[in-house]
């Protein structure tokens, strides 16, 4: 089954034709990405966010993260799950800062992890501009998704990351598809760019 998404943002669209089955759930990812290995993660597993395995499907619960040939996150399909014990998770996973703060590969960047409060794996991170990550568009999305998931809504987020010319975990922009309560007809699509202060 092929699904065309991001048709209004990326021309001619992104074909989700590759598939991985996770606990009876089928997760589709873009046809241009090659997966050589599937790695099942538990919360106790620790990866280095700035050195993720290349051409891999990283699976945590029913969340899917796909890396490209450089080991950068190129796509994810994640279900946001309201999580309360984020402080304890941070204490046990110092690596979540590996692409941010003093160790950022680019200036003015943070570790753009996809929300510990949203049930995402703490080792999965990507550089984001600190304004976007702390106060801007991405932070606003995280707050909204956290509120919705805390109220019992099902929030699914798919994102395609576009490679830049520079090395490292930096992506100049990414396209996001947000689906609330499995309402595909009412799904919303957005673009976030690291180059603009939003």
Output the pTM of the full model.
0.89
SS3 of 119-170: the string is CCCCCCCCEEEHHHHHCCHHHHHHHHHHHHHHCCCCEEEEEEEECCCCCCCE
Cβ–Cβ < 8 Å for 194, 105: no
Which DSSP helix (H) or strand (E) runs through 25? strand 25-30
Tens digits of pLDDT across the chain (198 residues): 456 677 666 656 788 889 988 778 888 999 899 999 999 999 999 998 888 899 999 999 889 999 999 888 999 999 988 888 888 888 888 887 777 555 566 777 887 766 777 888 888 888 888 888 888 888 898 899 989 998 999 999 999 988 777 777 788 888 888 999 988 888 888 888 876 654
Q: Select from 3.40.570, 3.40.1710, 3.90.226, 3.30.379 the CATH code of 3-193.
A: 3.40.570
Instruction: Answer whether the bond into residue 188 is a cis peptide, omega within 30°.
Output: no
Distance (Å, rounded) from C-alpha 143 to C-alpha 14? 27
Name 160's Cβ contacts closer than 8 Å, sequence gap at least 6.
6, 10, 14, 30, 74, 75, 174, 175
| Token pair of 186 as six digits | 């009412």
Q: What is the pLDDT of residue 4?
A: 66
For 153, how many CA atoms within 13 A lie in the half-sphere containing its CB? 16
């Amino acid at each position: 089954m092929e699904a065309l998404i991001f048709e209004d943002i990326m021309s001619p669209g992104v074909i989700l034709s590759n598939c991985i089955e996770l606990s009876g759930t089928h997760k589709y990812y873009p046809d241009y990405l090659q997966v050589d290995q599937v790695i099942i993660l538990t919360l106790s597993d620790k990866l280095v966010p700035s050195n993720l395995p290349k051409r891999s499907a990283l699976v945590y619960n029913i969340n899917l993260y796909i890396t490209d040939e450089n080991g950068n996150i190129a796509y994810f399909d994640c279900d946001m799950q309201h999580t309360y014990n984020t402080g304890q998770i941070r204490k046990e996973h110092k690596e979540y800062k590996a692409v941010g703060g003093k160790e950022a590969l680019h200036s003015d960047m943070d570790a753009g992890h996809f929300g510990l409060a949203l049930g995402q794996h703490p080792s999965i991170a990507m550089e984001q501009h600190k304004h976007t990550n702390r106060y801007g568009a991405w932070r606003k999305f995280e707050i909204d998704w956290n509120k919705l998931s805390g109220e019992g809504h099902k929030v699914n987020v798919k994102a395609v990351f576009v490679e830049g010319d520079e090395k490292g975990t930096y992506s100049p922009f990414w396209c996001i598809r947000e689906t609330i309560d499995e309402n595909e007809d009412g799904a919303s699509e957005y673009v976030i760019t690291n180059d603009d202060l939003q």
